[in-house]
A and B are shown apart, each in its own frame.
Chain A
Amino acid sequence: MTSDAAPLLSVSGLERAGIEVPDFALAAGEALAISGPSGSGKSLFLRALADLDPSDGAVALAGADRNSMPAPRWRRQVTYVPAESGWWAERVCDHFEDWDAAAPAAARLGIPAEAGDWSVSRLSTGERQRLALLRALVQGARVLLLDEPTSGLDVEATWAVEARLREFLSDGGAMILVTHDPAQARRLAKRALRFERGVARPERRGQ
């Protein structure tokens, strides 16, 4: 039931213990910024959208409900990148289907091609963050659910990641971005939600 008229991501009646979220939809190219104190439900919200924890409600990608497709296919398209990335193999390249193909994209984020042979344990926090984002990008995610994607990065790396994310949006992707930096939220997203003790409300912007 995919139709061109349907928004890229639509969420209505989302119910999961601990959080309360208004219905919303994101068109291709749109981003939604999320803010709120830690423990206010931001990560629970992103996990529910990625179907990593059980939740009720209608969540659809381009008109196709998530329950109409196997969960792995849903997550390849609606991909959650948590603040603390997980790793399951010894070397960096083992976490990519084809590291050589991903290397040019890695270089744009400031990660050299030889990083593929590095051991995961020697990566810095910032390198992990960028590589985890890259994993989701190279396998063709259409909606990114990003939990503080630049929190461990210096200014230069932050700009590189933001440039890549803007390109992702202009290529027709959509994203939900948890960030503690109001300036970053304004740079990347036109709309915003604020979480307070599990309840999300649209954030009014002064200007």
Chain B
Amino acid sequence: MPLIALDYLDLALAATLLLVNAGLSIWLQLGLARDTLIAAARMVVQLGLMGLVLKVLFTLVSPWLTALFALLMVLFAGREAMARQERRLSGWWGYGVGTAAMLAAAAVVTLFALTTQVQPEPWYDPRYAIPLLGMILGNTMTGVALGLHTLTTTASREKGGIEAQLMLGRPRGQALRPVAAAALHTALMPIVNSMAATGLVAIPGMMTGQILSGVDPVEAVKYQTLIMFLIAGGTGFGALTAVLAGAARLTDARHRLRLDRLAAKKG
């Protein structure tokens, strides 16, 4: 089955849906028109740039350029994960803990998939490496951000209970254990829910893409299953690393709770 290519008129036609929405918003005075149109314009520009960059990367198939691009993706994901936390660690830790956890988890899982399951030739072929990393990173970012957010907000809220345990001589690992467990629980909830619902409620985006481009549904299902396992693994590693590192930073070697290492509340 050949791929049905889209021309720019097709895109313009689809964009009229958005214009209709914006028109309705103005008519009903919902105040959404401006934000919607700006977001749509951003999306077009960002995707356009992404397309251009990927085209260059795929033509050159350079390991260094691919690695550089992958690193940039991780750095952007780190910024996004930090922005999603209400109370973050102060200083470089606020950015560093989440970013380092994502870098480690996404790199391990992507390399594992490239070298053992997908095995493109060469193994670093950006046509495989970059989309795989993108999907793993996107979900790992959500997990890391949720985990750190829950860790810091719960530790602040449960300060009394945590310190009461420390005062009685419990070690920091024991005193923070319920908080860390709650943070990991929250971090993994989306991926667990999405695995449970996949195939029932929605056809996942990547599988849709493969089917639209003519791939046999059974093959598309295999790819989607692989991706879900990779995503779940990456999210688990990333969230665990981030939450343990965050919990270590929120305490010190003398088993004190160090909420003074959180930046002031936003807003």
Expressed in whole angstroms, the Cα–Cα distance for A74 and B254 within the complex equals 10
Within 8 A of A (CB), among B145-169: 158-169
Supposing A84-B160, A88-B161 touch, asked if A139 and B256 sit within 8 A by C-beta, the answer is no
- Chain A residues, Cβ within 8 Å of B170: 72
B167-A81 in contact (CB<8A): yes
Q: Which of B159, B160, B165, B254 contacts A71 (CB 8 A)?
A: B254
User: Nearest CB to that of B170 among chain A residues?
Assistant: A72
Expressed in whole angstroms, the Cα–Cα distance for A92 and B199 within the complex equals 46
B161-A72 in contact (CB<8A): no
Supposing A50-B167, A79-B168 touch, asked if A88 and B158 sit within 8 A by C-beta, the answer is yes
- Chain A residues, Cβ within 8 Å of B168: 75-76, 79, 135-136, 139
Q: Which of B159, B165, B167, B171 contacts A80 (CB 8 A)?
A: B167
Tell me the A residues contacting B by CB distance below 8 Å: 50-54, 70-77, 79-82, 84-88, 132, 135-136, 139
- Chain B residues, Cβ within 8 Å of A80: 167
Interface size on B, residues (CB 8 A): 21
Within 8 A of A (CB), among B175-221: 175, 178
6 more contacts with CB within 8 A, not counting A71-B256, A76-B169, are A72-B166, A72-B255, A75-B167, A85-B160, A87-B161, A88-B178
Expressed in whole angstroms, the Cα–Cα distance for A82 and B175 within the complex equals 17
- Chain A residues, Cβ within 8 Å of B165: 86, 88
A75-B161 in contact (CB<8A): no
Expressed in whole angstroms, the Cα–Cα distance for A57 and B89 within the complex equals 28
B254-A88 in contact (CB<8A): no
Supposing A76-B169, A79-B168, A79-B169 touch, asked if A86 and B161 sit within 8 A by C-beta, the answer is yes
- Chain B residues, Cβ within 8 Å of A88: 158, 161-162, 164-165, 175, 178
- Chain A residues, Cβ within 8 Å of B178: 88
A51-B162 in contact (CB<8A): no
- Chain A residues, Cβ within 8 Å of B256: 51-54, 71
- Chain B residues, Cβ within 8 Å of A70: 255
Expressed in whole angstroms, the Cα–Cα distance for A72 and B252 within the complex equals 12
Tell me the B residues contacting A by CB distance below 8 Å: 158-171, 175, 178, 252, 254-257
- Chain B residues, Cβ within 8 Å of A84: 160
User: Nearest CB to that of A145 among chain B residues?
Assistant: B167
Q: Which of A71, A132, A135 contacts B255 (CB 8 A)?
A: A71
- Chain B residues, Cβ within 8 Å of A85: 160, 164
Q: Which of A54, A73, A87 contacts B169 (CB 8 A)?
A: A73
Q: Whole-angstrom distance from the CB of B2 to the nearest CB of chain A?
A: 63
Q: Whole-angstrom distance from the CB of B158 to the nearest CB of chain A?
A: 7
- Chain A residues, Cβ within 8 Å of B254: 51, 54, 71
Q: Whole-angstrom distance from the CB of A62 to the nearest CB of chain B?
A: 17
Question: Which of A54, A75, A77 has the most chain B CB within a 10 Å cutoff?
Answer: A75
5 pairs, CB–CB < 8 Å, chain A vs chain B: A52-B163, A53-B256, A71-B256, A86-B161, A87-B161
- Chain B residues, Cβ within 8 Å of A51: 254, 256
- Chain B residues, Cβ within 8 Å of A77: 169
Q: Whole-angstrom distance from the CB of A201 to the nearest CB of chain B?
A: 27
Supposing A71-B254, A71-B256 touch, asked if A86 and B162 sit within 8 A by C-beta, the answer is yes
User: Nearest CB to that of B163 among chain A residues?
Assistant: A86
User: Nearest CB to that of B158 among chain A residues?
Assistant: A88
Q: Whole-angstrom distance from the CB of A138 to the nearest CB of chain B?
A: 10
User: Nearest CB to that of B161 among chain A residues?
Assistant: A88
User: Nearest CB to that of B169 among chain A residues?
Assistant: A76
Q: Whole-angstrom distance from the CB of A178 to the nearest CB of chain B?
A: 15
B164-A87 in contact (CB<8A): yes
